[in-house]
Amino acid sequence: MLLILGPYPPPYGGVSNHISRILPYLKSRGIEHSVYNQYSVGDSSKNVYPIKNKYIWWIKFLIRPQNNLVHFHQFSWLHFQYFLLYSLFNSNRFLLTIHNERLLTGAPILRAISIFCLKFTKCLNVIVVSESVYKKLKLYGIEGLVHLPAYVPPITKSIRNKIKRKYTVFFNIWKVDSRKSVTVYGIDLLIEIASLYPDIQFECFVSSEKNLRLLYDSINQRKVKNIEVVVGENLVSHFSRADLFLRLNRDDAYGVSIQEALDCGVPAIASDVCLRPRGALLFESGNLKQLKAVFERALSLPRHTLISERLSTKYHLELIDIYRRNLGR
CB 252 within 8 A of CB 187: no
The SS3 assignment for 272 reads coil
- Give the pLDDT mean for 258-276: 95
CB 243 within 8 A of CB 233: no
Please give the mean pLDDT across all residues of the chain.
Answer: 93
Any idea of the CA torsion for 312, 316, 320, 322, to the nearest 10 degrees? 100
- Give the pLDDT mean for 252-280: 93
In whole angstroms, give the CA distance from residue 204 to residue 184: 15
Q: Which residues pair with 70 in a beta bridge?
A: 3, 94
In whole angstroms, give the CA distance from residue 207 to residue 111: 27
Q: Which residues pair with 77 in a beta bridge?
A: none
pLDDT for res 11: 86
pLDDT for res 31: 96
In whole angstroms, give the CA distance from residue 21 to residue 13: 12
- Give the pLDDT mean for 240-256: 93
Task: Classify residue 7 by burial, with Cβ atoms within 10 Å: 0-12, 13-18, 19+.
Answer: buried
**pLDDT per position as a tens digit, 141-184:** 999 999 999 999 987 555 555 554 689 999 999 888 888 889 99
Please name which of 206, 267, 274 lies closest in space to residue 10, comparing C-alpha atoms: 206
Any idea of the CA torsion for 210, 216, 219, 222, to the nearest 10 degrees? -130
pLDDT for res 161: 56
Neighbours of 13 (CB within 10 A): 21
**Whole-structure pTM value:** 0.81
**pLDDT per position as a tens digit, 49-106:** 999 989 999 999 998 877 799 999 998 999 999 999 999 999 999 999 999 999 998 9
